[in-house]
Structure 1
Amino acid sequence: MYIIYHCYGSAHSSVIASAIHVGMLPKNRIPSTEEIITIPHFDQTRREEIGNPFYIGRDEYGIEVYIIGMANNKEVLIRSIDSLLKIYNIPENQLVLVNSLSQINMITRVGGYLSRRLGMVKVGRPLTIKGVKKAYYQFVDLVDSVKERIRESLGQNPDSTE
């Protein structure tokens, strides 16, 4: 099984969600600025890298977690991924696509635009971090819901003590 968190540019929301998923960021508190900026790919993805999947790590179930930016081509990219699954006879349930863009607030959007699109990193990056911190527990909730789906698909009871 594979998990791909996707957003517009694979620089902010997908990076945060995937980092929480694999344990790079805490679930029980808002991370420090240093913790956020040291996550691989945070506010780093270049425009020409959009559409390339980036490996983030493995979760506690051994599932590989990736991020990908889809820009304004979300439907086309998802259709392409679905087609590749069919071509290679990979069951659809082996890939979980998670839209993390819905967790982003206006502060992060503006910061991301300034930093990634206009190259104004010194102004944009602090704004993205402020926005991420403000919405952090929404990311935690998203990851928790993804992990619940995974537990269900693996047939594991989240309340069991095994």
Structure 2
Amino acid sequence: MKVIYNCYGSAHSSVLAAGIHTGIVPDDRVATAEEISNIPHYDRTDTEEIGTVYYFGKDEFGFDVYIMGMKSSPKIVKRALLSNLRIFGIDRTKMILVDTLPYVNNLTRIGGFLSRGLGFVNLGRPLTIYGLQKSYKRFINLVKSVKKRLDHIS
């Protein structure tokens, strides 16, 4: 089974969810700013990398976890991904796509635009982290629901 957490740019919310899922950051408390900023790929994906699937790690079930940005075209990207699976004979049921964008608040959106869109990393990154900390419990619940689905499979 493959889990792909996806968001706008694969720099913030998908990275946080994958970090929680793989145990890089805690799932029993809100991570510190330093813990979040140290997650691999956090606030580092460039615009030209959007659409690339990045391997993130394995979870406790042995399932592979990935991240991917879809910019403002998630339906098109998902359709392309699923059609490629079909073309190459890969079973669609062996993959879970998890949209993390609904869990993002405006602070994270603004910070992400400042950091990744305009290049004001010193201003944007702290805003993204603060915003994610404010909605961290929602991300924990999202990951727990994904793991519950996986637990039924393993």
Q: Tell me, yes or no, whether TM beats 0.5.
A: yes
Q: Which amino acid aligns with 2:50?
A: I
Normalising by structure 1, report the TM-score. Answer: 0.93
- Residue 89 of structure 2 is aligned to residue 89 of structure 1: yes
Q: Deviations over 1:19-69 (max 9, x none)?
A: 000000101111111111111111110000000011110001111100000
Shift of 1:125: 0.7
Shift of 1:78: 0.6
Which structure has the larger Rg? Answer: 1
Shift of 1:76: 1.2
Normalising by structure 2, report the TM-score. Answer: 0.97
Q: Deviations over 1:100-147 (max 9, x none)?
A: 011100110010010110111111111001001000010000000101
- Alignment-derived partner of residue 100 in structure 1: 100
Q: Which amino acid aligns with 1:4?
A: I
- Distance in 1, matches of 2:79 and 2:153, equals 23
Q: Which runs of 5+ in 1 are unaligned?
A: 155-162
Q: Which runs of 5+ in 2 are unaligned?
A: none
- Alignment-derived partner of residue 53 in structure 1: 53
Greater CA drift, 133-142 or 83-92: 83-92
- Alignment-derived partner of residue 18 in structure 1: 18
- Distance in 1, matches of 2:126 and 2:82, equals 36
* Secondary structure, counterpart of 2:56 in structure 1: strand
Q: Deviations over 1:82-112 (max 9, x none)?
A: 1111112221110100000111001100100
* Secondary structure, counterpart of 1:28 in structure 2: coil
- Distance in 2, matches of 1:15 and 1:102, equals 14
- Distance in 2, matches of 1:77 and 1:129, equals 26
Within 5 Å, which residues of 2 pair with 1:12-161?
Answer: 12-154=12-154
- Alignment-derived partner of residue 157 in structure 1: none
The percent identity for this pair of structures is: 49
Aligned residues: 154
Q: Which runs of 4+ in 1 moved over 3 A?
A: none
